[in-house]
A and B are shown apart, each in its own frame.
Chain A
């Protein structure tokens, strides 16, 4: 990013707030991964549906498990899911999108578009169920299902950008100089899509977390462990019995994290939006 983009980002109040929120959650995730926080999420440490108190800051759920620990572990799960899905799908999407855009109506383009079209046409939840079954209910089935379907959006965008950039003068110049397609794409075209990729990454992160919530709610997501989706699923029954612990903990945390990412995405979009082509 250029200096002006950084400046714009720094001046964007909500964007900075979003960044801070995301960093806090990331910190929580790291702490949970390294065993410092939220370890007792599966243990029954209290009575049924205890309200918030000194022993359990967010109270307990039906079984007597600590909601705070579950929320923190859920945050770690959300971040982990988001990271894995985002990294892989952006990577895959950028690679295939660049390939597709560069070959512009050539057979790689047709092939990639065809695959993308096929994947987009299959109802997502059916696909996720099939993947879960194919992978014998493996922990990663949810991630695989998401990666395999999310890359298409990135690919289409990158493809469009590459096709646009392809016709610009500096590319003609590079070609005239004898550089091969691969080098041109890698060193000159893709860097110009970085701003799109960064924004798309934040959007994908949000989509991944939201999808995980619904998948876990449907039983196709997190298998062994706890996630906000599972907590929401639990809460959908409890809420009408007047027990809001799970619901509030999961929905507020989810809301905050998503809000943080969305603000960050917006700020990045604004900061990079008017960025010109980088030589």
Chain B
């Protein structure tokens, strides 16, 4: 199918673009670990040696070529900071981030959708207004404020002191819940407002359609209307949003949570790599996110065409 071939080509072009731009950024404008690694009284010669060891003095295209090869073979090298193999670092930190962010992500979206449907069904009523105002309030509070406030309220003797301030010593379901609750709460609180509002807009548009109003006038049950008609037609934008937010939530979103709560996931690894000028790790993370996003985009496009064939015509 030529269409799939074109989509594949797009994906590859995207990946090449992402890797090139981010590599460019890192090499010319980004982490330079040299001065971190020279000792206390470095001579210019020693500085040169360290740069050579780090591979900073090789030609750009050669380094870019190496980078592509590394990504393809998943031979990601060693961290410049800790010497640990980057793939090992990813292996131990990605599952942690998934475990950290998944509950909040899923809950945030499900709850948002649920509230949105309620609001859309009872549009104009006090419930709608309540949900709308609550979501506006939610959208107006910065993630930072939520994290600081929650930590004080739930994890310290100044508040309820029910949960740990930081850490991730997960050995079973109980300890998992113990450590994941506050971050999940933070994530849900910060995304709920946006999710509800966004989903409400979509669902409302669908719910206002003539055929839906007709069905409603004829007394069909809300559940049937909502799920069989409204939701099905809103599926694309909903899925679009979910797909787009996946890489964002998992890398950028987890960054703050993990550094604040001391959770050793991919966000913390990225943050540490940024603050310690660790090129190999950053290259790997950027490559990963690029792949994720390219996948998300491609899948999204495919979905569009499946559900709405009109868009494939020229």
Contacts and interface: CB of A to CB of B under 8 A. Distances in A.
A259 B139 CA distance: 8
B70 to A, nearest CB: 18
B139 A206 contact: yes
A133 B251 contact: no
A104 interface: yes
Contact of A232 (B142, B247, B252, B289): B142
B133 A258 contact: no
Contact of B293 (A114, A120, A214, A251): A120
Contacts of B197: 266
Contact of B294 (A110, A121, A134, A254): A121
Given A114-B14, A117-B17, A217 B144 contact: yes
Given A121-B18, A240-B156, A126 B140 contact: no
A122 B274 contact: no
Contacts of B132: 266
A236 B259 CA distance: 13
B215 interface: no
Contacts of B255: 125
Interface residues of A, number: 46
A255 interface: yes
Interface stretch (B24-32, B43-51, B72-80, B175-183): B24-32
B246 to A, nearest CB: 12
B29 A134 contact: yes
Contact of A239 (B142, B152, B251, B290): B152
Interface string A98-130: 000000110000100111011111111111011
A223 interface: no
B297 A262 contact: no
Interface in B124-163: 132-133, 136-137, 139-145, 148, 152, 156, 158
A165 to B, nearest CB: 14
A239 B158 CA distance: 11
B106 interface: no
Interface in A68-116: 104-105, 110, 113-115
Contacts of A125: 252, 255, 274
Given A123-B289, A214-B143, A251-B142, A14 B17 contact: no
Given A131-B29, A251-B142, A266-B132, A124 B148 contact: no
B233 interface: no
A51 interface: no
Interface of B: 10, 13-14, 17-18, 21-22, 25-26, 28-30, 132-133, 136-137, 139-145, 148, 152, 156, 158, 197, 201, 205, 244, 247, 251-252, 255-256, 270, 274, 282, 285-286, 289-290, 293-294, 297, 311, 314
Report, nearest first, the 9 A-B pairs whose CB atoms are least far apart.
A258-B140, A118-B17, A130-B25, A121-B293, A259-B140, A134-B29, A130-B29, A121-B18, A262-B136
22 contacts: A114-B10, A114-B14, A115-B17, A117-B18, A121-B290, A122-B21, A122-B25, A122-B289, A122-B290, A123-B270, A126-B22, A126-B282, A130-B25, A133-B29, A206-B140, A214-B142, A232-B145, A239-B148, A251-B141, A251-B145, A258-B139, A266-B132
